[in-house]
A and B are shown apart, each in its own frame.
Chain A
Amino acid sequence: MTGLFETYSEIIPEFSLFQERLQRPIPTHLRINRLLIEPASLVHLLENKGVQLIRSSQRYDTLYLAPGLASPGNLLEYFLGYIHPQALTSAIASIALTPRENSCLLDMCAAPGGKSAHCAQIMNNTGLIVSNDLYTNRHISLGHTLSRLGVLNAVVTGYQAQEFPLKQRFDYVLADVPCSCEGKFRKTRDTSSYRENKGREKLSVLQKKIILRGFDLLQENGQMLYATCTYNPEENESIVDLLLKERDAELLPIDVGFDFEPGITEWKDKKYDKRLKNAVRFYPHRLDSVGFFMARIGRRR
């Protein structure tokens, strides 16, 4: 089997297994919205309708695999705001940050709102979430997600992420940045949302600006999560490496209880800061979901 992401064959372990997994569709994962229903009640409701749910983790009781459920949006429980179809790795991003109650969080690239809503749940609808997205036409879907899921502690803004005003600081910053979306690619689809080489350089430029602004928006003891759904080190470790060079930043460990690989410290002819081993890479043959990269960042003390 050749062709699929061959350029990463030296950094992705068990590469042939990785390529095989890409032949299968991404399974359906659901997040149960604890703001509106207790997980056990929802599981019981859906089991009565013949929907099989398999818990994704013993640690978290809101994350489930729903094998064979083709259209979760067709469930009444979706309309009621009890469930949110969300890639497991997307849900893990909010868990990696675990914002505490009564804190202040900025979601820099928030649309369509799944992570903002998850953070609201983790914060128990306390504190404040600023859900930011540049494109005002995406504010409709963003607002809809937040209201459907009963989020009561969020406001929506429309700044360019890299130009977000510096007047205030945040306890938490979530930067799930625009990327080439390689992690979403599965060969079963005729088209894919992942971007080929064209335009990637522009992405790196943008990602660098966003991570620097995100870091500058942190409170003294604040934490940022930088995340992408791509495998490309030039959008992942390279960006975090730049931040480590240009700011007094520290990479914090991520402990979420799922199978991941550490961040890499070398790619082609480039070497990255050794602290990047604290970043995490999710691959579909290890955790069957969208491929993801995450780095949890704090200010160096």
Chain B
Amino acid sequence: MENRFGIPKTLFEDYLLFSTKRSWLLLKRGQHIETASHLKVSKVGLRTFQRVGSFVKPTTRFIQTFGRFASKGKLQINMEQLQILLKGGEIPVDLKLDNGYVILSTEEDRVLGLGFLINGKIRSQLPKKEIRSAMLNMTSNKTIVSQN
């Protein structure tokens, strides 16, 4: 995270990282963790990474929570570019970065999640099912409130 996105390691000093077969989970460190250790727990904290084949991918929610601390490896996109990506398309970019994950954010610098840069083009790693088309139709200065 530090090499690619400039998110400092020190940001995670107050957290514990748990791992399962396929994923890693982040939980705030504290004196009450022992309470949880006595319980049968089905979910822990926030899922941060998951294994995808031989790769390890940061999750969208993890990036949305910590991506604002990134100082590099970020790209702002507009709604039209987002629509292209969500439809499975690619957008050409001029980034001085190796192939790999890129943090995507809106023009207001709100972190959306990840894209994947390969040979000068970005493809979406955003959860398509969660971003509804209605969300993308709502741009600035457009009235979206229903009239009763």
Contact = CB atoms under 8 A, between A and B. Distances in A.
Given A76-B138, A143-B43, A153 B61 contact: no
B52 interface: no
Contacts of B142: 49-50
Interface residues of A, number: 50
Interface string B45-64: 11100000000000101001
A68 B138 CA distance: 15
A136 interface: yes
Summarize A's interface: helix, strand, loop or mixed: loop
A127 B138 CA distance: 37
Given A81-B64, A127-B30, A150-B46, A158 B40 contact: yes
B30 A36 contact: no
A155 to B, nearest CB: 5
Given A51-B144, A150-B46, A128 B132 contact: no
Contacts of A158: 40, 42
Given A68-B145, A127-B30, A130-B39, A49 B44 contact: no
A33 to B, nearest CB: 11
Contacts of B15: 152
Contacts of B138: 49, 74-76
Interface in B20-47: 26-28, 30-33, 35-36, 38-47
Contacts, number: 129
Given A36-B65, A76-B135, A80-B112, A139 B36 contact: no
Interface residues of B, number: 46
A146 B8 CA distance: 24
A199 B59 CA distance: 43
Contacts of A79: 130-132, 135
A153 to B, nearest CB: 4
B146 interface: yes
A69 B145 contact: yes
Contacts of A165: 38-39
Contact of A127 (B32, B65, B135): B32
Given A148-B61, A155-B39, A48 B141 contact: yes
Interface of B: 15, 26-28, 30-33, 35-36, 38-47, 59, 61, 64-65, 106, 108, 110-112, 130-132, 134-136, 138-148
Interface of A: 36, 45, 48-52, 67-71, 73-76, 78-82, 102-104, 125-128, 130, 136, 139, 142-143, 146-148, 150-159, 165, 167-168, 170
Given A79-B131, A80-B110, 20 more contacts: A48-B141, A50-B141, A51-B144, A51-B145, A68-B148, A69-B145, A80-B64, A81-B65, A102-B30, A104-B35, A127-B30, A128-B32, A139-B42, A146-B43, A153-B28, A155-B39, A155-B41, A156-B44, A157-B40, A158-B42
